[in-house]
Each structure stands twice: as C-alpha cells, then as structure tokens.
A and B are shown apart, each in its own frame.
Chain A
Amino acid sequence: MKTKRKKIDYSKWGYLFILPFFLCFFIFSFIPLADTIRYSFFEYYRSGIKEIGPNFIGMENYASLLQSDMLKYAGNTLVLWMIGFIPQIVIALMLAQWFVDSRLKIHGTQFFKVVIYLPNLIMASAFAMLFFTMFSTNGPVNAILSSMGLISQPVDFLGSVFGTRSLVGFMNFLMWFGNTTIMLMAAIMGISPDIFEASELDGCNSMQRFFHITLPLIRPILAYTLITSIIGGLQMFDVPQILTNGQGSPDRTSMTLIMFLNSHLKSKNYGMAGALSVYLFIVSGILCFIVYRITNDDDADGSKAAARKAKRKRRK
C-alpha cells in the first residue's frame, strides 16, 4: 500500500491574493475612518490663517451639529430623494412589467432599454450644468415655452424652492429609472413561468397577477433597490451642488448632507466635518447591514415566506 502523500498547503496563496485588497482598504478607508472619528471629538478648525486646536472637547461637536441646520439638511436630502424615488419606482415597475409581458408585443424593446439607461451613465455634474443653462431665465426651455405661447414672461425655475427641488428630483428620476427598470425586469424574468401559467388558468387578470404574484415574488429585489437607493440618496451631492453652485439656494432649501460636509471640508473645519461624518457613518452602517442581510441570508428577505403567502392568497 502506498503511503498517502501529504497534501500541499495552498492557504498562504489565498492570503497573498487577498492581501492587496485588504492593505488598500486599511490604508485608504480604515485609517481615514479612524482619523475622522478621532477628530470628531476635537475642536479643530481654521479661522483666517490661524489654526485653532486640536483641543479635546468630547461630544460638543455632535451637540452643536444637532443645534445647527444639520437636521434641516437631512430633511432636504430626504425630500429631494423622495421626489426622485417615488416616480422612479412606479415607472420602473410599470415598464419592467410591460417589457416582460410577451402579449403586449412591445416593439423595439432593446432600443427603449438602451435609451432609458443612457442618462445613468452621463456625468451628473455635466448633466446638472446642462439643466442649469437650459432652465435659466434666458435659456432654451423658457424660449420654447414662450414661443409656444404658454408663458408671457420667463419663469425663474431656480429662483423658487419648488422649481429647484423639482429639477433635482426630476434629474435623479431620469438618471435612475432606467437602471431600476432593468433590475426589476431581471427579477420578474426570474419568476418561474409555471406560476404565471397557473394563474392564467385560474382566470387571473393582469392587475391581479401583478399585485398578487409579481409584486410579492420580487420583494427581495424591491427591498434591495429601496435600500441602495436610500444609500445613494444619502450621498446626493453632484446634482444639487452644481445646480445651485454649492449654495443650496434658494435659502439653503436644496442643501444636502454631503454638500454640508463638503463645505466644512473646504473651510477646513475638521472637527465638525468629523462629527457629521460619524452621523452619516452610523446611518449608512445600519443601511449596509440591511443590504448584507438581503444579499446573504437564505430567507432573511422573506422571499420564501412571500412565495408561501402568495400561494395562500391565491387559494382564497
């Protein structure tokens, strides 16, 4: 009998291959994070050319942020996100449903998909600059509206709260609805055709099919889309920053949290920027945890439970 050769241990290669990633993460994300958290407890800013601090002041930065306009900016961010997200998810669900419905015989599906995904790839800052020039009082949109006789004098879109917020929301909608449509389409196509066939035989109409079969079955992807969109919304910066030149005008009603952070960083107010970052870190940490649960656990997203529920409902 031959003696079994000792198996070569390859594990050191595994460590070696994942080393660059973790090294890079440690240097460019972990150290900065620790540094950010550390300075959030310090009084450390620049007034003129004089540097004040760093002096340890405990939780004072956190407290003064709560008294500042931070909560107002958080509200702005939420409003701007919702204006973009609600139409986005409604339209995306509708389009995804249409694209996969073979009986609707949509012509040029590929063309429409290419077109609606296009705005997602456009540089957000250039897109915002384009909207700024187009919706300015002497821009082409006002020119078109007045030549059509719809308005007698130019509309100052960016001068009103409603106008600015709608424009930001509209741009976010345009940039993301194609992406969401394609994601949801893949989710709907992943549902077994048998279920749809069975529902057909049971006399299910298209509305019932959508609300009682499709929607419950794509719930995990919907949840994923929602959470990643909230994380994206939390990071909203490019569009309102360029559109309002960093002012969040009118009267800082379109100032987002990251714009606030950016202005602290630009003025080298490291203590405040640190505390604000920690608030953002906590919120996004919670959201990350939810995404982790959705992408990893077997049934944490409730897909199987949803399937069971859908079946039960159908039986009633």
Chain B
Amino acid sequence: MRSEKPNYLRSIFAHIVLIVLSFMCLFFFYILFINATRSHADLQKGFSALPGNYLFKNLQNVANDGTFPMFRGILNSLVVSGCSAAICTYFSSLTAYGLYAYNFKLRKIAFTFIMAILVMPTQVTAMGFLRLVTNMGMYDSLLPLIIPSIASPAVFYFMYSYMQSSLPLSLVEAARIDGSGEFRTFNRIVLPIMKPAIAVQAIFTFVGSWNNYFVPALVIQSKDKMTVPILIATLRGADYMNFDMGKIYTMILVAIVPIILVYLFLSKYIIAGVTLGGVKE
C-alpha cells in the first residue's frame, strides 16, 4: 500500500512523543516519592535517583507536628469531600429527575436557567458568600464547604443526560400503577438505575472538593478545621528555609496519595466519565 512506510515512521514518532509526555507526567511524582523517603541531611547532599529508608520516620514527623496537623487535615478533607459527593450526587439526581419525569409550567425556564449558570465561576460571588456565611454564624466551620454542593449545575446536566439515555419513563409509569409513591419511586427505582452515573460524578465531586482551595481558605480560620490544601498553603507561607525538607516532601505526598490510590483503582471509570459529562470541572 502506498501509505505503508510513512505510517510506520509516524507510529514510531507517536510512541516517542507519548513516552516523553508520560515521562513528564510521572517524573515529578517520582522525585516527590524519592525525596519523601530521605532524611533532611540526606536531601542536602543532593539528588539521588534511588529511594532512601527514611519514609516511616518522615511520616512519624508529619504525624507529630502540631503546627501542621496534616492527619487532622486529611480527616477534615475526607469529611468535607465525602459529604459533598454524597449530597451533590443525590440532589443533582433528584433535580434532574424532577425536570425529566414531570411536566410542569416552569420546567422549561428552570432547565434553561440551570444551563445558563452551568459554567459560572463560584469566585464571582465569593465576597457575598463570605459575608453571608459570617452572618449565618457558619464562619470557621465545615458546613459552608458542604451544603452549597446541593446546587451543582454541571452534575445536574450529567445526570439529566444520563436519564435521557437510560431511564425510560414507562418504568416510572409502571411503578405508579403498582402503587409506588413518587418519592419512593425515585429512591427505589430511579437511583439504582442511576448508579453508574452517580459513581462517576461522586468521584469527580470528591476529587474537586478534596482539591478545592479558594473557598476553604476564605472560610476556615482555626488550625483544627483546616483542610489539606490550606495546610499546604500555610506550609508555603511559613519560614520555609528552616524546615525539615524530608518532612515537607512527605506532607505533599500524603496530600496527593489518597487521590492517586483512588485513581489507580477507578481509572477506567474516571476516564470514561470525562467524556460522558463533557463538562470540565
């Protein structure tokens, strides 16, 4: 075939580019891991490509550091991200079902409205949000990081699209004939059908909330309520040169390892989910 030879060359070229890019993606995490396994004195001597045996000691140092309560931070982050993921997916499904299965006067307007605010940045309302939270007495608490995720237009849109493709309305009709109440139909019949969509969006919401820095940094004040990104930021703001470098690398490591672990197990679903939603988060 005429185009056989150029394809062969192109294939080699494509593989080289892909390997270089993958190297770029992994190289920094490799350095992070290596450096987290070495002691401060060791790190001062220069870079080594092989891991040391100091990881456990570094972890202990991180755990015992009262100025940067990293493990407390991880716990806070887990609570915030877990709750956000749960209520965000539940209420987004509920909203999507309300607009999908029922015909009412304001339906079109409500749908158009949600689509219009689909990609609106939260930062533009940050100032009013901060004042509102303060007035409601929720300043320096984890609640304002969780509750607003009830209204997530992007997750709603994903759920709505999923319903259009996989939830036949005849099923809802059948449940009605069998005497199931509307709310019960949603919880017992619709939610189980939505499981794959909920799983994908729960992961994305969890990750987004885990990594969120802007809003928590405004709302959280006291050390024992800080989430992981704020702790990392205070680490950057502290007098950095006097620090045990091994400990710093270990802190960064514990901040990102939970997500990497989740990703390694669920990468197939996550990557499939990126295109399903078609919405960047």
Binding site for B on A (CB under 8 A): 10-18, 20-22, 24-25, 27-29, 31-36, 39, 91, 94-95, 98, 103-107, 110, 112-119, 121-134, 138, 140, 143-144, 147, 174, 177-179, 182-183, 185-186, 205-206, 224-225, 227-229, 231-232, 234-235, 237-238, 241-242, 245-246, 258, 261-262, 265-266, 270, 273-274, 277-278, 280-281, 284-285, 287-289, 291-292, 295-296
Contact = CB atoms under 8 A, between A and B. Distances in A.
A123 B255 contact: yes
Given A28-B151, A123-B228, A288-B118, A129 B252 contact: yes
Contacts of B178: none
Contact of B213 (A115, A125, A206): A125
Interface string B94-107: 11011101111111
A144 B47 CA distance: 7
A14 B214 contact: no
A242 B99 contact: no
B142 to A, nearest CB: 15
Given A18-B98, A122-B259, A147-B47, A106 B18 contact: yes
A28 B126 contact: no
B193 interface: no
A266 B217 CA distance: 10
Contact of B14 (A35, A106, A129, A147): A106
A74 B144 CA distance: 29
Given A14-B98, A125-B233, A238-B213, A261 B123 contact: yes
B95 A20 contact: yes
A117 B267 CA distance: 9
Contacts of A292: 115-116, 118
A111 B10 CA distance: 20
Contacts of B179: none
A177 B151 CA distance: 28
B110 interface: yes
User: What 5 A-B pairs have minimum CB-CB distances, sorted nearest first?
Assistant: A32-B128, A17-B98, A14-B102, A35-B128, A11-B104
Nearest to A119: B25
B275 A186 contact: yes
Interface in B47-99: 47, 91-92, 94-95, 97-99
Most-contacted residue by chain A among B46, B128, B233, B270 (CB, 10 A): B128
